[in-house]
Amino acid sequence: MSSPVATAVSAAAPYNRAKAVKEFEETKVGVKGLVDSGIKAIPAIFVHPPETLAELKRGFESESAPVIPTVDLAAVQGSRAAVVEQVRQAASTVGFFQVINHGVPEQVLRRTLAAVKAFHEQPAEDRVPVYRREMGKGVSYFSNVDLFQSKAASWRDTILIRMGPIAVDPSEIPEMCREEVVEWNKEVARVSRVLFELLSEGLGLGAERFREMGLGEGRGMLGHYYPFCPQPDLTVGLNSHADPGALTVLLQDHIGGLQVETPQGWIHVKPHPHALVINIGDFLQIISNEAYKSVHHRVLANHCNEARVSVAVFFNPSDTERLFGPLPELTSTQKPALYRNFTFHEFMTRFSKKELDGKSLTNFFRQ
């Protein structure tokens, strides 16, 4: 097994990125393995170009910076129209919002984050058997989904678990997080049903319109782990990108680091106790004919000694061969369809061929 330390930033030897990436991948212990090895300088494959690093300094730091809207879902019972309008406003402008009083017990939130953290912090020899990029068994553990396509890698590791439309066999989920993942899947699916109803109503459609399209049935859970980075000014935790699917529900811990791009600049999504972060994906932007916005976001490299953990669930259509495009109800001679029709299989195939960067997937399907 090649030592990951051997690829550390050095001006002494010629740099072969393809070779360095291959060596890192073959360790099968991810960024956590690099940190555990005691490195003081990050490997060259993680160093981002000057233009990316310069852009990282463009975030708001003042207390007067804009904030992501917060929606109280408890108000749905008495003031549904007002909540629909809050969700519509957030989805059509910044593309992000946080929800509170969503009904998920606090202990479930804590257990989910703790279980994902425990998986990533178990001994390296216990993580290695799960390290794979293919999803045949419904569970894969890897570092950087676009490791072989990107110009520079990001400082994080991920466990990906398929939750729908055909959920992974629970026996394939690592035992240390199995019970918590199954429980989280039930809770987040329930929350998503409420969100899809509100988003549908916000477009003037029936509450069941998105559910009838199967939008909440395709689900994938990503448990991200962002360990301490010895040189956080040279890399990122997650590069600027827009999510490809319909909707993302994110559970994040208290560390912070998530930023969203707005017309005013990059703003921090400050962790809110017990809140869930919601964002619109490219697919929902397309079928809403751009009534809703999918926006770029990123995660800074973690400068804290404590690892940052987040759990994202991506909601997608269940039927990958069905034709999708801007909904007929949302198009007219005054507002023609901005995108062509496509299958979700074509959509995700296109996504998998591009690196996770700021170039929006939606441009490929624009007509």
pLDDT tens per residue across span 331-364: 999 999 999 999 999 998 888 776 556 557 898 8
110-159 tens-digit pLDDT: 999 999 999 999 999 999 999 998 877 799 999 998 899 889 999 999 99
Q: Is there a contact between 123 and 94 (Cβ–Cβ < 8 Å)? A: no
pLDDT at 356: 55
How many domains would you assign to the chain? 1
In a domain, residue 20? The reply is no
Q: Is there a contact between 226 and 158 (Cβ–Cβ < 8 Å)? A: no
Q: What is the CATH number of the domain that holds 188?
A: 2.60.120.330
| Below-70 pLDDT ranges, the chain | 1-13, 58-65, 354-359
In a domain, residue 19? The reply is no
pLDDT at 27: 96
Which residues, including other chains, have CB under 8 Å from residue 154's CB and lie 6 or more apart?
Answer: 46, 144, 235, 236, 237, 238, 239, 299, 301
Q: How far is CA 35 from the centre of its chain?
A: 23
In a domain, residue 15? The reply is no
In a domain, residue 267? The reply is yes
pLDDT at 11: 45
User: Is the peptide bond preceding residue 165 cis, with omega within 30 degrees of 0?
Assistant: yes
Q: Taking the alpha carbons of 247, 269, 299, 294 in that order, is the dihedral positive or negative?
A: positive
In a domain, residue 27? The reply is no
pLDDT at 354: 66
In a domain, residue 205? The reply is yes
Instruction: Give pTM, 2 decimals.
Output: 0.92
Name the strands in the sheet holding 70-72, side by side, starting at the edge strand that comes first in the sequence. 70-72, 96-100, 276-280, 247-252, 308-316, 218-226, 157-164, 139-142
* 54, two tokens: 């310069």
Q: Which domain holds residue 201?
A: 35-365
CA distance 39 to 149: 25
In a domain, residue 8? The reply is no
* CA angle in degrees (0–180, nearest 5) for 120-123-127: 55
pLDDT at 13: 59
Q: Is there a contact between 158 and 120 (Cβ–Cβ < 8 Å)? A: no
In a domain, residue 249? The reply is yes
